[in-house]
Amino acid sequence: MIRLIVFFLVTTLSFSALANSPKVSIEEYIDTWKDVAIQQMRSHKIPASIILAQGILESGFGNSTLAKRANNHFGIKCHDWKGRKFYQDDDEKDECFRKYADASQSFQDHSEFLTSRSRYASLFELKITDYKGWAKGLKKAGYATNPKYANRLIDIIERYNLDQYDTQHEDLIANNQSKFPTFGREKKDAAPAKETKAKRTVHVNQDRTKYVIAREHDTFYQIAKDMNLNLRQLNRWNNFHPQKDVLAAGDKVYIMRKKKRSKIKSVQVKENQDLWEISQEFGIQLKALLEKNNFSSPEVALSPGDVIKLR
């Protein structure tokens, strides 16, 4: 009983402290986190203005309950999260959000979240100074459900002159983006980068198509970076879809364009296997599989034992 009373007393005092803590202004928020945003820009190629604007919008410039109690400034939900969790109502009741020991970890995780999701890959083809393109791209990719999300980000950036942080290191950004830890230029199909070959073991399938094996907690961003490949191209080669945003250990990731036909004539569908998985297993372009088997959609329902033509 005493422990229960102490628990309720501590909880009540915690809520009271949060409620009575001084509210942070937007200017104070920017001053506190601008250096962290610039650091994330330099390491992950995400505009500092976008990082700050999202933090301001998602966290109520550090004053939201989620920001104060979970150090979560970007409203990132649990998804595949293995760390501490915080629950509160959002689009649905009692949703799960990531909880951090320190708010700076929220900024790092936000960068890793964007660079590891295939639906955001096209954003990294934009110039680092194109905050409008980034804002619209985030909305289009489904980062937020609010139809005015992009306009709100742009308004915050322009009202508080946040784009000044995107050009603060003009020598690294405007004329030579390759000085960033970027994804490199688009390569010809048969040329994995020699200078990074020690970082990844390159495998070759029966049709001489090259691929690497995803490690535990691996990301598309990290593979693109290790192999000096273009992230958007890497996603196109692998036909990654939203359900495969997060790689699992053992996934094949092709580092060159998959073939349109295979030396293997056909295969039988395994239990719970879909067309995309067959495409990845045998290194055949998904579009080619659709054409060879007269399917109109990659979402076609397959049954164990069905025969799929590979050539």
Write down the pTM of the prediction. Answer: 0.60
CA distance 208 to 146: 46
- pLDDT recorded at residue 34: 92
As assigned by CATH, the class of the 24-178 domain is mainly alpha
Which residue stretches of the chain have pLDDT < 70? Answer: 1-22, 169-198, 241-246
Measure CA of the first residue to CA of the last residue in the chain; give whole Å: 72
Please give the full DSSP string across 76-126, using - where no structure is assigned. Answer: -B-TT--S-EEEE-SSSTTEEEE--SSHHHHHHHHHHHHHT-GGGGGGGGS
Domain 259-311: CATH superfamily is: LysM domain (3.10.350.10)
Residue range(s) of every CATH 1.10.530.10 domain in the chain:
24-178
Q: What's the token pair of residue 112?
A: 């890793």
> Please, where in the chain does CATH 3.10.350.10 lie?
259-311
pLDDT recorded at residue 244: 57
CA dist 175 and 237 (Å) reads 29
pLDDT, residue 307, reads: 92
Task: Encode burial over 139-175: b for 16+ CB neighbours within 10 A, e otherwise.
Answer: bebebbeeeebbebbbebbeebebbebbeebeeebee
Looking at residue 187, its pLDDT comes to 35
The reported pLDDT for the residue numbered 22 is 63
Give the model's pLDDT for residue 197: 42
